[in-house]
Chains A and B, each alone.
Chain A
Amino acid sequence: MNLFLELLLMPLVAFLVGLLMVLMLRRIGAKLQRRVGPPFFQPLYDVVKLYAKRTQVSHGPIHDMGIVMAVGGYIAAETLLPVPGMDGLADKGGVIALAYMMMIPSLGLALGVGQCANPNGSIGISRALTAMLAYDVPFMLVIFGAAWVYGSTDLSEMIAQQQQGEWGVARMPLLALAGLLTLPALMGKQPFEIYVAPAEIATGPMVEMGGKFLGGLFVMQAFQLYTAGALYTTLFLGGGEHWLSFLPKIFLVVAIPMMIAYLFPRYRAEDMLRVMWKWPVLAALLGLAMVMK
Chain B
Amino acid sequence: MSNEREVIGIHAEAKRGNPLAHVFDELTRFCRARSLFMLHYCTGCGAIELPPAMTSRFDMERLGIQPMVTPRQADILLVTGYVSVKTLKRIILTYEQMSAPKYVIGICSCTVNGGMYWQSYATAKVLKAYLPVDMYIAGCMPRPEAVIAGLRALIDDIEADRAESWKRYYQHYDHYLGNQQSLFGDDWQTPTDILAEAEHYGLLGEHTRGKHTALLERHQRPLEALEMRLRVPEEPE
**A55: contacting residue among B32, B197, B226, CB under 8 A:** B197
In the bound complex, how far is the Cα of B159 from the Cα of A28, in angstroms?
29
**B99: contacting residue among A26, A54, A198, CB under 8 A:** A54
Does A38 lie at the interface of the complex (its beta carbon under 8 Å from any beta carbon of B)?
yes
**Size class of the contact patch on chain B:** 20 to 34
**A33: contacting residue among B55, B68, B70, B75, CB under 8 A:** B55
Task: Name the distance in Å between A185's Cβ and chain B's nearest Cβ.
Answer: 22
When distances are taken between beta carbons in the complex, the residues of chain B under 8 Å from A57 are 72, 97, 99
Interface centre among A30, A35, A49 (most CB of B within 10 A): A49
Q: Nearest A residue to B61 by beta-carbon distance?
A: A38
Q: Determine if B59 and A35 form an interchain contact, defined as CB atoms under 8 angstroms apart.
A: yes
Interface centre among B34, B35, B101 (most CB of A within 10 A): B35
Q: Determine if A117 and B100 form an interchain contact, defined as CB atoms under 8 angstroms apart.
A: no
When distances are taken between beta carbons in the complex, the residues of chain B under 8 Å from A39 are 34, 62, 64
Does A268 lie at the interface of the complex (its beta carbon under 8 Å from any beta carbon of B)?
no
Does B201 lie at the interface of the complex (its beta carbon under 8 Å from any beta carbon of A)?
yes
Does A163 lie at the interface of the complex (its beta carbon under 8 Å from any beta carbon of B)?
no
Does B7 lie at the interface of the complex (its beta carbon under 8 Å from any beta carbon of A)?
no
The secondary structure that dominates the B interface is loop
Fill in one digit per residue for A33-45: 1 if any B CB lies within 8 Å of its CB, else 0: 1111111011011
**A35: contacting residue among B27, B62, B101, CB under 8 A:** B62
Q: Determine if A26 and B72 form an interchain contact, defined as CB atoms under 8 angstroms apart.
A: no
When distances are taken between beta carbons in the complex, the residues of chain A under 8 Å from B75 are 49
Q: Determine if B73 and A214 form an interchain contact, defined as CB atoms under 8 angstroms apart.
A: yes
- CB < 8 Å A-B pair total: 92
Known: A30-B61, A35-B61, A54-B99. A49 touches B201 (CB 8 A): no
Q: Determine if B72 and A49 form an interchain contact, defined as CB atoms under 8 angstroms apart.
A: no
In the bound complex, how far is the Cα of B73 from the Cα of A202, in angstroms?
11
Task: Name the distance in Å between B132's Cβ and chain A's nearest Cβ.
Answer: 15
Does B12 lie at the interface of the complex (its beta carbon under 8 Å from any beta carbon of A)?
no
Q: Determine if B73 and A54 form an interchain contact, defined as CB atoms under 8 angstroms apart.
A: no
Kindly identify, within residues 4 to 52 of chain B, every residue whose CB is under 8 Å from any CB belonging to chain A. 27-28, 30-32, 34-35
Q: Determine if B201 and A38 form an interchain contact, defined as CB atoms under 8 angstroms apart.
A: no
Known: A35-B62, A55-B197. A42 touches B70 (CB 8 A): no
Chain B residues engaging chain A, CB cutoff 8 angstroms? 27-28, 30-32, 34-35, 55-56, 59, 61-62, 64, 68-73, 75, 97-101, 197, 201, 225-226
Chain A residues engaging chain B, CB cutoff 8 angstroms? 26, 30, 33-39, 41-42, 44-46, 48-49, 52-57, 117, 198-199, 202-203, 206-211, 214
The contact sample of 9 A-B pairs, CB cut-off 8 A, is: A37-B61, A42-B64, A46-B35, A52-B31, A54-B201, A56-B99, A117-B225, A210-B98, A214-B73
